[in-house]
Amino acid sequence: MRLDESLLTNLPPFSKLDKAAIADILQHATTRRFDAGVSVFEEGDYADRFYLLLDGYIRVVRITPHGDQVIALHIPSGQLFGIARALGRDTYPATAITASETLALSWPAELWGEFVAQHEGFSTETYKVVGQRIADMNNRIFEMATQHVEQRVACAILRLINQTGRKVDGGIEINFAITRQDLSEMTGTTLHTVSRLLSAWEKAGIVKSERKKVTVCDPHKLVVLSTGTG
């Protein structure tokens, strides 16, 4: 599959590189398309490749010994993922599931060292992305320990519309199919509680919730809920 290098020049990891460097990087890349809801790699797999998400969304997931899923975070397009090498690992620390139809580039893990050594933008972007995700997960740990369910769900939805939101008439909608179950797995609650919360918020005019779809009409009120007002 042939790829236009102009597709990459505006993406953060490549924005500081010249055409020759990009062409070189592209030569070693593999392009792959994934359907929604399939796994790109699984926790514990040998990390033989690293990825750049061109289009779509990736859901980073871990499975408990009882078989329950916990959604750690979502990755928007333009970001690197599966970068176990950057964390000093040779296996993936979590499972990556596509949250929508997805297009991704990937390279053999052996090239990781070369990339970060030779391309300034590549390494700084890596630090940035890794830092963001640590902060993200850090916040989640704090929320889990201190906030109530309603506040956690509000936070989760706010994060989703910030990172993966799309403006539509009447609000901002989450740009991929998301179920009550998904939201419960992100917030450590049940789909029933999420359903009740969304119903209540819909009556209050804060959100509009349909099947596999959530639109935020009044972000400000959600922020108020997320910080706790009772």
Per rule CB under 7 A, is residue 150 in the interface with DNA?
A: yes
**Tokens 């916990």, residue located:** 70
Per rule CB under 7 A, is residue 192 in the interface with DNA?
A: yes
Beta-carbon contacts of residue 69 (< 8 Å; ≥ 6 apart): 61, 62, 63, 185
Which range of residues in 24-32, 110-118, 136-144, 186-194 is near DNA by CB under 7 A? 186-194
The smaller minimum CB distance to DNA, of residues 62 and 212, is found at 212
Q: How far is the CB of 137 from DNA (least distance, A)?
A: 20
Which range of residues in 9-17, 73-81, 161-169, 191-199 is near DNA by CB under 7 A? 191-199
Which range of residues in 12-20, 28-36, 41-49, 190-198 is near DNA by CB under 7 A? 190-198
Beta strands in the chain (DSSP E): 30-34, 39-41, 49-55, 58-63, 69-75, 80-81, 95-98, 102-108, 165-168, 171-174, 207-210, 213-216
Nearest to 112 by CA among 122, 103, 98: 122
Number of amino acids touching DNA (CB under 7 A): 20
Per rule CB under 7 A, is residue 196 in the interface with DNA?
A: yes
Per rule CB under 7 A, is residue 191 in the interface with DNA?
A: yes
SS3 196: helix
Residues numbered 109-128 forming contacts with DNA, rule: CB under 7 A: none
Per rule CB under 7 A, is residue 36 in the interface with DNA?
A: no
Q: How far is the CB of 204 from DNA (least distance, A)?
A: 13
Per rule CB under 7 A, is residue 77 in the interface with DNA?
A: no
SS3 56: coil
Per rule CB under 7 A, is residue 148 in the interface with DNA?
A: yes
Three-state secondary structure of 135-158: HHHHHHHHHHHHCCHHHHHHHHHH
Q: Which residues pair with 171 in a beta bridge?
A: 168
Site track 164-183 with DNA (rule: CB under 7 A), x = hit: ---------------xxx--
DSSP state for residue 42 in the 8-state scheme: -
Per rule CB under 7 A, is residue 199 in the interface with DNA?
A: yes
CA distance 25 to 107: 9
Q: Would you tell me which residues interact with DNA (CB under 7 A)?
A: 148-150, 179-181, 188-193, 195-196, 198-199, 209, 211-212, 230
